[in-house]
A = this chain, B = another copy of it.
Amino acid sequence: MTLFGYWRSSAAYRVRIALNLKGLQYEQKSVHLIKDGGQQHAEDYADLNPNKLVPTLVDGEFTLNQSLAILEYLEIKYPNINLLPANLADNMKCRALALDLACDIHPLNNLRVLQYLTGPLAQSEEQKMQWYFNWLEVGFTAFEKSINKVAGNFCFGDHVSWADLCLIPQVYNAERFNFDMSPYPLIQRVVAHCRTLDAFTKAAPENQPDAV
């Protein structure tokens, strides 16, 4: 399998954790999101992924974009390690937690959106950070409440799930911009535990071949 990604992409980071947890071998191809005006806009990459976003997974003849679709694919094709609970209700709750992060925080704070704010909308760096912190605060406040009755070592009890795979990259991003995580003790507890695990550490941005 080949994963087209970028070291700092939260969405690629999610998939790297899943691949590592399942013990799958994969090759990484770096799509540098800034160099050359963004290599994701190059014609050959846009043919692979019309959204011009990362990640894209290529498994033999099969090409798939969208990190959550890729997680689903890996879940079905490589069920040796399950990253969602077997119980229907628990399974759905973990999916919803992952989507809370992947739909309601991450799309608002990714690179192209921040570039649009400071470019066409002519916002200052300060306004950009106000925007960025606002959606983190709204999202993490809700997430902290959502996991209040279910968190264990992980977001949902003591079994790693997609919720953790989406949370760790989002928190990495928040910390990178010095966002104060102290109002979210449950999130911090889960993050601290995940960071003790090899699959998470190996997937961290600074440990990728294209890290600068």
Contacts and interface: CB of A to CB of B under 8 A. Distances in A.
Interface of A is mostly: helix
Given A69-B95, A69-B99, A62 B89 contact: yes
- One complex includes copies of this chain to the number of 2
Interface centre among A52, A77, A116 (most CB of B within 10 A): A116
Given A77-B88, A95-B72, A100 B134 contact: no
A146 interface: yes
B108 A145 contact: no
B51 A73 contact: no
Interface residues of A, number: 43
Given A76-B88, A121-B123, A66 B142 contact: no
A135 to B, nearest CB: 8
Ranked nearest first, the 9 interchain pairs of A and B with the lowest CB-CB distance are A66-B99, A69-B96, A50-B145, A50-B142, A66-B96, A107-B107, A69-B95, A51-B142, A50-B146
